[in-house]
């Protein structure tokens, strides 16, 4: 089955700096890679996603890149703000349409 | 008011008792999922259903059971066979299985004493 690994588990950056979270997946048939943000005490919500026929996607300060050959995908947040502080989860959808999540990255943006 | 609703928010049970967590959606979504969230372990898939009257085991199905008799409802039963049931449980749904956005409920925190 699909295995999604996510690094780092915690990340602290200063306001205005960039943050990068990396994930790898095991199922070469995976074709959809969403990223979710979970603020403290709230439910996870989709912030951006990418499909296997695209190498990069950007939405304002957030971008995601996908390297299918290496089975890597990454989330990039530029000009970080305090409200970006949260737990971020990557996920992959592979065989049998299973939505498998990584273990999460706790991002702390300090002033 | 459309969305996905889990109830109750907090649930306490004695060890050895089965307990059922409710998940209802009025989004007309075909796919529904149950995840368990533990600190440092992310979201682990318990069961998922791609369509009514059908469901598949996820990665940690042992000690859990589900049913999908109605499109709107996907209840999860935590049985006495689950060795470590205390956790935060999240239900989600999506328009179709897999490659579409999943919408999450607010979660149920189950404590077994």
pLDDT by residue (tens digit) across B14-27? 999 999 999 999 99
Distance from CA of A6 to the nearest CA of B (A): 10
Better pLDDT: A49 or B1: A49
Pairs of CB atoms within 8 A across A/B: 58
Percent of chain B with pLDDT over 90: 87
Q: Which residues on chain B are in Cβ contact (under 8 Å) with A9?
A: 40
Q: pLDDT value at position B2? A: 63
Distance from CA of B79 to the nearest CA of A (A): 23
Structure confidence at residue A11 as a pLDDT band (50, 70, 90): very high
A29 part of contact set with chain B, CB < 8 Å: no
Residue A106: CB atoms within 10 Å: 16
Does residue B99 register a pLDDT over 80?
Answer: no
Q: pLDDT value at position B40? A: 79
Residue A44 in contact with residue B104, Cβ under 8 Å?
A: yes
B5 bridge partner residues: B24
The answer to whether the peptide bond before residue B102 is cis (omega within 30 degrees of 0) is no
Percent composition of chain B: helix, strand, coil (DSSP 3-state, to 5): 0, 50, 50
Q: Which residues, including other chains, have CB under 8 Å from residue A77's CB and lie 6 or more apart?
A: A18, A19, A20, A61, A62, A84, A107
Chain A residue closest in CA terms to B59: A1
Tens of pLDDT, residues A58-106: 999 999 999 999 999 999 999 999 999 999 999 999 888 889 999 999 9
Chain A residue closest in CA terms to B31: A97
Q: Which residues on chain A are in Cβ contact (under 8 Å) with B31?
A: 97
Pick A43's closest partner by Cβ from B50, B90, B101.
B90
B37 bridge partner residues: B43, B88
Residue A55: CB atoms within 10 Å: 12
The answer to whether the peptide bond before residue A103 is cis (omega within 30 degrees of 0) is no
A87 token code pair: 């737990």
Distance from CA of B62 to the nearest CA of A (A): 16
Residue A25 backbone dihedrals phi, psi, to 5 degrees: -135, 160
């Amino acid at each position: 089955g699909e295995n999604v690994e996510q690094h780092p588990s915690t990340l602290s950056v200063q306001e205005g700096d960039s943050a990068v979270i990396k994930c790898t997946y095991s199922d070469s048939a995976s074709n959809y890679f969403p990223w979710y943000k979970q603020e403290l005490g709230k439910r996870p919500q989709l912030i951006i996603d990418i499909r296997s026929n695209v190498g990069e996607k950007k939405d304002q300060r957030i971008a995601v890149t996908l390297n299918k050959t290496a089975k890597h995908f990454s989330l990039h947040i530029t000009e970080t703000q305090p409200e970006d502080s949260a737990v971020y989860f990557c996920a992959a959808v592979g065989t049998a349409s299973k939505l498998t999540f990584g273990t999460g990255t706790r991002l702390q943006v300090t002033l | 008011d459309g969305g996905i609703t889990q109830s109750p928010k907090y649930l306490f049970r004695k060890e050895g008792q089965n307990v059922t967590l409710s998940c209802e959606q009025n989004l007309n979504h075909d796919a529904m999922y149950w995840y368990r969230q533990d600190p440092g372990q992310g979201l682990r898939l318990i069961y998922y259903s791609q369509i009514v009257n059908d469901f598949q085991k996820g990665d940690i199905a042992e000690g859990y059971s589900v049913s999908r008799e109605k499109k709107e409802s996907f209840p999860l039963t935590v049985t006495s066979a689950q060795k470590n049931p205390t956790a935060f449980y999240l239900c989600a749904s999506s328009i179709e299985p897999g490659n579409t956005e999943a919408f999450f409920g607010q979660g149920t925190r189950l404590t077994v004493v």
